[in-house]
Amino acid sequence: MILIADGGSTKADWIAINRDQSEAFRVRTLGLNPAVIPEEELEDRIVHVFPLVKVKDEVTEIYFYGAGCGTPKPLEILKNILQTIFVHAKVQVAEDMLGAVYAATGADPAIVCILGTGSNSCYWDGEKVHMKTASLGYMLMDEASGNYFGKLLLRAYFYNTMPPHIAKKFEEDFNLDVDDIKQNLYRTANPNRYLASFAKFMFDFKEEEYIKCMIEKGFQEFFKYRILPFKKTAATPLYFIGSIAFYFREILEKIAKKNHLEVTDVIQRPIDNLLEYHRKKINQ
C-alpha cells in the first residue's frame, strides 16, 4: 500500500492506494508542520487517526509533501516520526512547494504559488525548483496567506479602524477576549493556524471596499516579493494552490493582470492531482 499526503499547517490530506492503484481510503488529519509543531504533537496527530494506524504494517511507500519541510532539520524530524510509525515503508518527505508543482504542472515549466494558511512560490523549470528567497514563515513573511490576513483583521479590530458594521459581525463570529487571543498566539501550538482561522471571515465581505482593498493590497505584496522577481512574462503559466487563492480568485486574477500576468489555474486542494501524478509515475 502507498500513502500520499499533502500536509499543510491547518490540515493534512492523505490518500492510500493499493498496488493495483485502486484507492483504498482517504483521511484528513490536523496539520503536520514540523517547523512549528512539537514532535510529540506531530506523532499524536498521526497515531490517533484509526485509518492510518490500521494499515501501518501494510504501507510500503509514503510520499509526504508538507509545509515546514523546506529545511533539513524539520524535514528529518517528520521523516523519523513517519518511519517509526510505518516501520515497513520507504518514506520520502519533501516541502509542500514540490507537491504544489507536481499537482499543478508536472513536468512543464511554470510559476507555482501557495496561498493557504501560509504562502510561498517558486519557478519550476521542468526539472528543478527555483526559489528567490527562503521562507521565514508566518512571523516575517507569508504575504497574502491566511495568517497574514488574520493578523490584519485582528489589528484593524483592536485599533478601531475596521468599519463598525464589519466589526460588529467580527465580534459575533469570534472570541475576541484579549487573554484568550494571547493564549492562542503565544502559549499554544500552531499560532499560524489560529491566525488563519480569522481569514475565512473575509469571504462574506469580499465585495465591501474595505475588505476588498485589504485583499488586493495583500495580493499585490505577494506579487511584488514572490512572483515579479522571477522576471517572467504572461507566456509563463502561473498556478496557485490553496484556499485563499481559490476563494478570492477573482481578485487574484485582477492583481495578476495589473502586473501583466495571467492566472492559468487555481487548485483548492492538490491531493487529487498528486494522486494522478504518482499513478502516472507508477505506470512509467
CA dihedral 257, 260, 265, 270 (to 10 degrees): -110
State the pLDDT at residue 208: 94
Q: What is the mean pLDDT of residues 134-157?
A: 90
**Residue 178 pLDDT:** 96
* Percent helix / strand / coil, the chain, rounded to 5: 45, 20, 35
Q: Whole-prediction pTM value?
A: 0.88
Q: How confident is the model at residue 284 (pLDDT cuts 50, 70, 90)?
A: low
Q: In whole numbers, what is the pLDDT of the chain averaged over residues?
A: 93
More confident: 161 or 36 = 161
**31 in Cβ contact with 190 (< 8 Å):** yes
Quote the cell numbers at residue 115.
496561498
Strand 238-241: give its sheet, edge to edge. Answer: 129-130, 119-124, 110-115, 238-241, 265-267
The reported pLDDT for the residue numbered 133 is: 82
Question: Hey, what domains does the chain have and what are their CATH numbers?
Answer: 2-100+270-283 (3.30.420.40)
61 closest CA partner among 23, 88, 24: 88
DSSP-derived letter for residue 33 is -
The pairing of strands 238-241 and 265-267 is parallel
pLDDT at position 172 over 80: yes
Percent of the chain with pLDDT over 90: 82
* Structure confidence by residue, pLDDT tens digits, 111-138: 999 999 889 999 999 999 998 887 777 7
Mean pLDDT across 220-229: 96
How far apart, in whole angstroms, are the C-alpha atoms of residue 264 and residue 5? 24
pLDDT tens digits, one per residue of 232-276: 999 999 999 999 999 999 999 999 999 999 999 999 989 999 999
Task: Tell me how far apart the alpha carbons of residues 19 and 32 are, in angstroms, rounded to a whole number.
Answer: 26
- pLDDT of 17 reads 94
